[in-house]
Structure 1
Amino acid sequence: MNYLVIPAYEPDYNLIKLIEKIHHRSNFYIIVIDDGSSAECQDIFARAEDFATVLHHQGNQGKGQALKTAFEYIQSLNKPGTVVTADADGRHRIWDIFRSLTKSNENPNTLVLGVRAFTGKVPLRSRFGNSLTRILFKLQTGVAVSDTQTGLRAFSTDLIPFMLKIEGQRYEYEMNMLLEASQAYPILEVPIETVYINDNQASHFRPIRDGLMIYKNILKFALSSFSSFIVDYVVYALSILCLSFIPTGLRVLLSNGLARVTSSVFNFSTNKKLIFKNKASSFKTGSGYFGLAVGLFILDTVLIRLFNSGLGVNLLIAKILVGIMLFILSWTVQTLYIFKERTCSPL
């Protein structure tokens, strides 16, 4: 069975136009979720019942929870098939919905995304928001996704238990879905028409508040790395000051070694348990991580010494400069290799 899931909050009659066309041109089992919309919108949902099953939330719980409510309902029907999610404002053309369905049917156990080209006249916040998250997503997962904000997605019902375990109730749920799926399933793309209605004014996406929620997991990783650098720097600085009676070369080696061991243990524990929530054995991930730590330690020590002896940079300042240089290298290796439980092919 094919399911079309449409979460709706304060929809207009574009919703009726969409589901009426879908109803007459396909065998989709259409599910619309009223996510706590106002009384003024209830006539729309009443008309939607002519073409779809309408599920209601008493209050606004967020797009993520609306999707989960639909997934739970589909699971209760116990009829395997394919699930397609689409937005309620009519921005997704019916032929793009059908193409996403076909792509998913041809590639079971994958997450299919209907992706926009972002060419021509695109609202600034949509262009900027997608460009930023696309870059950050690639850095964190190693998987290239052309459109991180698309609501047109398709997957088999076998993936519903996986989808229900993903954290988030509002817009962050869709980003969390991409982050989790990139580590568990292949992600495929279907190009779709780019449609913005009234310059995207009807969107309930709040750039600041919801943006922070979307970037939460990525920011947690950066915060973990920064905290580890602070631990590393404090131990290094104290050691440099306390071991002033030792020749400079040996002092840098000992201070940097002690700082690196301390910060590495802290960073490994934090990233494994809190950031990546990696379930692989500590021995497997730990061996890779500490191999990286040794490599970074050698680079760190050599570069600090070169900055100090070759350029005359103060040892404490040199530590900061080198730390910044090695941050991206550390981030990339950890995210793409050490804590990546499953390697997915880029799109």
Structure 2
Amino acid sequence: MARGNEDVWIIIPVYNEEKVIADVLENVLQTFPNVVCVDDGSSDASAQQILGTRAHLVRHPINLGQGAALQTGLRYALGRTGSSYFVTFDADGQHRVEDVLTMLDLARSGKADVVLGSRFLTSAETVPWIKRVVLRTVVALSPTARRLKLTDAHNGLRLFTRGPAEALRISQNGMAHASEIATALARSSWRVAECPVTVLYTEYSRAKGQSLINGVNILFDVSMSRRGR
């Protein structure tokens, strides 16, 4: 059983990840004892896989989208005694525990209230080319990303200290939640820092077509936000 880091909660939105979620949780729970998975209306056996671990499980009866799952997970973790740090973590095996530890060190040092993972502070060769182009374009087009001096505006690996976590209100249920979070941070007085992380683009995640689909969604979100300014 993991020892230490009892003040950290890992928040994992889950939608139809029965093939990998148990392995992801086994890896995370070796270092972080507090994990909450929000099963966002999965139609497969994701919930059963989660119940076979020590992770906490919260379920949406229908699919509401990743933003809603993150908000549910944050509310749950904020209600746990002794919780001080809150990390959003993907369910598909793309994120690394060692990167969370590096981000946590930065937050514990008192130099940042929010730490965002970035694929582009070091070599980005592992990032699929279409996603690399999309994410670079997002940074160039987004006033919010420029204001925060972000190199990676849509990385799902994020760490919030308690103050920002309590203030965060995610109302965008789909992929637009990433832009919403960045906008909220840009309008706040919280100290935001980026930290280099490695995203593991596995055969499983590539087979789901995430790079292309998410890339189109991200560009659409940025386009709509610019029209609404």
Query: TM-score, normalising length from structure 2?
Result: 0.84
Alignment of 1:1-347 (within 5 A): 1-24=7-30, 26-47=31-52, 50-107=53-110, 110-117=113-120, 119-138=124-143, 141-164=146-169, 166-184=170-188, 185-198=190-203, 200-202=206-208, 203=210, 205-209=213-217, 211-221=219-229
Measure, in 1, the Cα distance between the counterparts of 2:199 and 2:66.
Answer: 21
Question: What is the RMSD of the two structures over their aligned residues, measured on CA atoms?
Answer: 2.3
Secondary structure class of the residue paired with 2:148: coil
Q: Match of 2:225, as an amino acid?
A: N
Could you say which residue in structure 1 is the equivalent of 2:3? none
Q: Match of 1:148, as an amino acid?
A: A
Q: Which runs of 5+ in 1 are unaligned?
A: 222-347
Deviations 1:306-344 (CA, angstroms, capped at 9, x unpaired): xxxxxxxxxxxxxxxxxxxxxxxxxxxxxxxxxxxxxxx
Change (3 A) 1:139 1:56: closer
Q: Match of 1:200, as an amino acid?
A: R
Measure, in 1, the Cα distance between the counterparts of 2:74 and 2:35.
Answer: 12
User: Which 10-residue stretch deviates more, 204-213 or 147-156?
Assistant: 204-213
Measure, in 1, the Cα distance between the counterparts of 2:127 and 2:23.
Answer: 24
Q: Which structure: greater helix fraction?
A: 1
For the Cα contact (< 8 Å) 1:4–1:84, is it kept in 2? yes
- List structure 1 runs of 4+ shifted beyond 3 angstroms: 39-43, 138-141, 204-211
Report the Cα offset of residue 125 of structure 1.
2.8
Deviations 1:138-172 (CA, angstroms, capped at 9, x unpaired): 577522111111110001122223212x4311111
Q: Match of 2:35, as an amino acid?
A: I
State, as a whole percentage, how many aligned pairs show the same letter: 21
For the Cα contact (< 8 Å) 2:67–2:172, is it kept in 1? yes
Measure, in 2, the Cα distance between the counterparts of 1:109 and 1:127.
Answer: 26
Q: Which structure: greater strand fraction?
A: 2
For the Cα contact (< 8 Å) 1:115–1:146, is it kept in 2? yes
- The one of the two structures with greater contact order (alpha-carbon pairs below 8 A, sep at least 6) is 2
For the Cα contact (< 8 Å) 1:82–1:105, is it kept in 2? no
Q: Match of 1:182, as an amino acid?
A: A
Q: Match of 1:213, as an amino acid?
A: D
Report the Cα offset of residue 8 of structure 1.
1.0
Measure, in 2, the Cα distance between the counterparts of 1:108 and 1:161.
Answer: 19
Measure, in 1, the Cα distance between the counterparts of 2:9 and 2:107.
Answer: 12
Measure, in 2, the Cα distance between the counterparts of 1:188 and 1:111.
Answer: 6
Q: Match of 1:220, as an amino acid?
A: G
Measure, in 2, the Cα distance between the counterparts of 1:137 and 1:45.
Answer: 37
For the Cα contact (< 8 Å) 1:134–1:145, is it kept in 2? yes
Query: TM-score, normalising length from structure 1?
Result: 0.57
For the Cα contact (< 8 Å) 1:93–1:193, is it kept in 2? yes
Change (3 A) 1:141 1:116: closer
User: Which 10-residue stretch deviates more, 55-64 or 189-198?
Assistant: 189-198
Change (3 A) 1:137 1:43: same
For the Cα contact (< 8 Å) 2:111–2:191, is it kept in 1? no
For the Cα contact (< 8 Å) 2:37–2:55, is it kept in 1? yes
Measure, in 2, the Cα distance between the counterparts of 1:75 and 1:63.
Answer: 18
Task: Give the structure with higher Rg (CA).
Answer: 1
